[in-house]
Structure 1
Amino acid sequence: MTQLLRLAAFHFGIAFATCSFLYAQESVAVEKRYTDEIKALANRPAVKAVFQNFTDWEPQTKQDLIRLTETPAPPFKEAVKARKYAAMLKEAGIDSVWIDEIGNVIGKRNGRSGKKTVVVEAHLDTVFPEGTDVKVKQKGDTLYAPGVGDDTRGLVAILTVLKGLEKAKIETDADVWFVGAVGEEGLGDLRGVKHLFKTNGSKINSYIAVDGDGISEIVHRGLGSYRYRVTFKGPGGHSYGAFGIVNPHSALGKAIYYFTSEADKFTRQGIKTTYSVSVIGGGTSVNAIPFESWMEIDMRSESPERLNGIDQLLQAAVQRALKEENGLKRSGPDLTVDVKKIGDRPSGRIEPTVPLVQRAMAVSRHLGATPQLDVSSTNANTPISLGVPAVTIGSGGKGGNVHALNEWWLNDKGVLGLQNVLLVLLAEAGVAN
């Protein structure tokens, strides 16, 4: 368990900012036509019936959450959970379901016209390594387990919405894809949704990601990030006998200094842009010149221009350090450097006036919350960067300790989260009957 705690803490450090909501909120008015639209939609008898079903089904919804949470989905190993989720979608009455080449679960519910496709999605993967104990423990009304909230609750929310649509026989005008995506966390680098848009992008007209609790936060701006692993390599040798050869650690130290000095000035103005030299390593012994020295760096901004700007500072710092270290050598071969991009999350923005964003805000307000427009890094980043209307909304309830072994979720008015997803989906997909 000590090793698991260490690994979980490591992933927490890398991934916490990946999925947690970064509260850079905007205050925007909700247009009356969308408020009226949502009010009329919520007053439909069939929709009211689904709302009642959500309440009646709470014991089963809880069992679905426990069942899926206790199915591990470590990074890059989501296949078992994917198969189980596909079976649950099929059992709920989806028209067709398949698992694509990269591991995404895609369930298609046919619309009357099918002229549009609306995706509603939650992610299958968690940050926790293989072997983590994912058994759900209940204390009072609170469920504790790694991944119980992020994002297994999201998966259960869209599954329950599907059940509600089927039970009430509500037909949408647009086709709706219910998706369980792989690779949202950490070094997964949004690979599931990137693949979805690479292979089906022309079919998708709008995108609703379900991630996080509550019903207030609406992410309409994608926080982009670049992540690099920079490795300086040399021949290595005895600290005395080989003295005078290039030293990768010296080059790494210079690169960090040059980069952070320039990045500090760059990030003191303009749209918020961040940087972190997060992990470093290399070397074998105190009496040995290392043969390699490496670091992993995270840079973030919702502005593509700012992100590219700080990236250029990193590249320049690395090359300057390489040149200077090679200039100091007294013997042996030159130092080399390998700069590998290990993460590339696109950034962008969907304007608050876009109908999907307005509808999400109107739903949040209709359900008694105060809508908050935020920026974050979620699966919605990819469609946002492509100009496809997209938001990330919450699945209800309350949660905490995300990415920690004692993660928890409390069903505090959790049905509001299900209503949240249902109303946003129906407003966007259109009700045909």
Structure 2
Amino acid sequence: SFSRMRHFTTALTALVFAAAPLAAQQPSQYPTSWDPKLLERPDVKSAMAMLEKNFPQQLEEWVRLTEMPGKSGQEQARGAYVKAAFEKEGLKPTVDSIGNVVAVRKGTGGGPTIVIMAHMDVVFPNDTPRKVRRSGDTLFAPGVGDNTASVANMLATLRTMNATRFASKGDIIFIGTTQEELGLKGAEYWLRTNPRPDLLIVPDGAFGSVAYGALGIYWTKYVFTGPGAHTLASRGRPTPVRAVAAAIDRLYQLQFPALPDGAVMNIGQIHGGNIFNAVPQELYFTVDLRSSDPVLLDSLDRTITRVTQEVATEYKVGLRVEIEQKNQAGGTEKQLAGARAHPLVQTAVDINRALGISTGMPGAMEAVATGATDANPGVVRKIPSIAIGGSKANGAHQLTEYALASTALPSTKLLYLLTATFADGVKVVPPAKIVP
């Protein structure tokens, strides 16, 4: 997803994993709302059995959705499917001006409003071959993991709630969001134009991890301009090409701490020029800058712009700075101590453990103070928000992407159990006393 844009990238996950102390899964120092007795409640037992029984149909729907076009900004086919599925479940979905498909499952009153967001878009052009290839438990297709699995998980959760007559005090709002891969635009729009929810749960991101932070993501285009010239008249004249080359070289010499506590910068595009035999009049490169630390993010952003402006002046060319987006950072792990202490985070960790999803993972990987999903705009607004993963997948944003089919079942159970836990309010089980 933006996700990996969004999502933790595989590299970031590996980095955090490598840095994490191999902590035993001892009793948590954080409050939780998880009660294992919930699994014995008749309606919940029935729901778990139903998810297992209906999983073959869920898998078929996952494949069907994956094979639909869904490029960011062109999600209409998937949106129409999700809308029809909501309608079939007796809800009255609406489609807002950015294309989000929104359906409210009304509560009886007096409970928290829980929003579940799964983004419908993928990064791939609509003419990309999307046929899913199966090999054992593995599904191969562009977009299969990021984030199509989660859309199917969300629909399965809704159907199961209805079939088991699940009752909640608060409203549960199901949203298929758009343009996540273009900067979380659908989620940002919905949160900006609707009443503030009490909890935000986003099935997306790394399988087994609970992301409660927000990686700030700044996208900027630096456009160098000049008068141009024929090659024969080019000697000694200013050229945007030399400025671009010098600027990129200097930017990659900048020194700053690495993620997860520092930042990462990538120059993802260089474009310009039309013919061999002329100095281009315009040339640009793009910068993708990310950090969880809002102070570091803004500081580096200013530094990058200053360095680029200095180069433009030195090489006597014009410079135009175009800001594509500025998704704000949620804060460092220390700054997010309050968010980590909200029971939503530890409850998700505890359910992951109960379902065996995070078995064998270091404790530091179970809850991470970063993220690049639709949960980000919730984190920035101080709404208790987490991303919980939708399947175990690899190769996001690549044609070679694949997902393990069976992992969508525990991911869906996690989504159901999380929602069921908080449907009537936030009950807090005090943290265990940690004995040194």
TM-score > 0.5 by shorter chain: yes
Distance 1:286 1:64, change over 3 A: closer
For structure 1, which segment, 289-298 or 20-29, has the greater mean C-alpha deviation from structure 2 after superposition?
20-29
1:393 matches 2:388: yes
Distance 2:397 2:250 in 1: 33
For structure 1, which segment, 241-250 or 224-233, has the greater mean C-alpha deviation from structure 2 after superposition?
241-250
AA at the equivalent of 1:383? G
For residue 285 of structure 1, report the CA deviation from its aligned partner. Answer: 4.4
TM-score normalised per structure 2: 0.86
User: Residue 79 of structure 2 corresponds to which residue in structure 1?
Assistant: 82
User: Residue 7 of structure 1 corresponds to which residue in structure 2?
Assistant: none
User: Residue 34 of structure 1 corresponds to which residue in structure 2?
Assistant: 32
Q: Is the 8 A contact 2:112 2:422 kept in 1?
A: no
| Gap runs ≥5 in structure 1 | 1-11, 327-334
290, 299, 315: which is aligned to 1:309?
Answer: 299
1:45 matches 2:42: yes
Q: Is the 8 A contact 2:149 2:408 kept in 1?
A: no
For residue 245 of structure 1, report the CA deviation from its aligned partner. Answer: 3.4
Distance 1:271 1:38, change over 3 A: same
**Structure having the larger proportion of residues in strand:** 1
User: Residue 133 of structure 1 corresponds to which residue in structure 2?
Assistant: 129
User: Residue 60 of structure 1 corresponds to which residue in structure 2?
Assistant: 57
For residue 218 of structure 1, report the CA deviation from its aligned partner. Answer: 0.5
AA at the equivalent of 1:248? P
Is the partner of 1:75 in helix, strand or coil? coil
Distance 1:304 1:239, change over 3 A: same
Distance 1:413 1:127, change over 3 A: closer
Distance 1:218 1:174 in 2: 23
Distance 2:416 2:187 in 1: 21
Amino-acid identity (%): 28
AA at the equivalent of 2:247? A
User: Residue 396 of structure 2 corresponds to which residue in structure 1?
Assistant: 402
AA at the equivalent of 1:422? Y
AA at the equivalent of 2:230? H
Distance 1:300 1:212, change over 3 A: closer
Is the partner of 1:67 in helix, strand or coil? helix
Deviations 1:157-214 (A, max 9, x none): 11111111111111111111111110111xx1111011011101x3311100001464
Distance 1:213 1:163 in 2: 24
Q: Is the 8 A contact 1:190 1:379 kept in 2?
A: yes
User: Residue 116 of structure 1 corresponds to which residue in structure 2?
Assistant: 112
User: Residue 337 of structure 1 corresponds to which residue in structure 2?
Assistant: 319
Distance 2:287 2:38 in 1: 47
73, 76, 92: which is aligned to 1:96?
Answer: 92
User: Residue 239 of structure 1 corresponds to which residue in structure 2?
Assistant: 231
Distance 2:406 2:81 in 1: 27
Q: Is the 8 A contact 2:224 2:284 kept in 1?
A: yes
Distance 2:167 2:259 in 1: 50
Distance 1:431 1:167 in 2: 22
Q: Is the 8 A contact 2:31 2:346 kept in 1?
A: no
TM-score normalised per structure 1: 0.86
What does 1:183-222 correspond to in 2, within 5 Å?
Answer: 183-185=179-181, 188-200=182-194, 202-212=195-205, 214=207, 216-222=208-214
1:296 matches 2:290: no
For residue 115 of structure 1, report the CA deviation from its aligned partner. Answer: 5.0
For structure 1, which segment, 126-135 or 267-276, has the greater mean C-alpha deviation from structure 2 after superposition?
267-276
User: Residue 430 of structure 2 corresponds to which residue in structure 1?
Assistant: none
Deviations 1:279-306 (A, max 9, x none): 2132344542221121111111011111
Distance 1:354 1:222 in 2: 16
For residue 367 of structure 1, report the CA deviation from its aligned partner. Answer: 1.6
Is the partner of 1:203 in helix, strand or coil? coil
AA at the equivalent of 2:346? Q
Distance 2:31 2:313 in 1: 62
For structure 1, which segment, 371-380 or 268-277, has the greater mean C-alpha deviation from structure 2 after superposition?
268-277
347, 350, 353: which is aligned to 2:341?
Answer: 353
**Structure having the larger proportion of residues in helix:** 1
Distance 2:200 2:167 in 1: 19
Q: Is the 8 A contact 1:171 1:431 kept in 2?
A: no
Distance 1:88 1:270 in 2: 39
| Gap runs ≥5 in structure 2 | 427-436
User: Residue 161 of structure 1 corresponds to which residue in structure 2?
Assistant: 157
Is the partner of 2:32 in helix, strand or coil? helix
Distance 1:212 1:303, change over 3 A: closer
Q: Is the 8 A contact 1:208 1:380 kept in 2?
A: yes
215, 227, 230: which is aligned to 1:223?
Answer: 215
For residue 89 of structure 1, report the CA deviation from its aligned partner. Answer: 1.7
Distance 1:362 1:276, change over 3 A: same
Distance 1:308 1:32 in 2: 31
Relative CO higher for 1 or 2, CA cutoff 8 Å, sep ≥ 6? Answer: 2
1:146 matches 2:142: yes
AA at the equivalent of 1:30? S
Number of aligned positions between the proteins: 403
Deviations 1:243-263 (A, max 9, x none): 4432111222232233333x2
Distance 1:247 1:15, change over 3 A: farther
User: Residue 429 of structure 2 corresponds to which residue in structure 1?
Assistant: none
1:260 matches 2:255: no
Is the partner of 1:18 in helix, strand or coil? coil
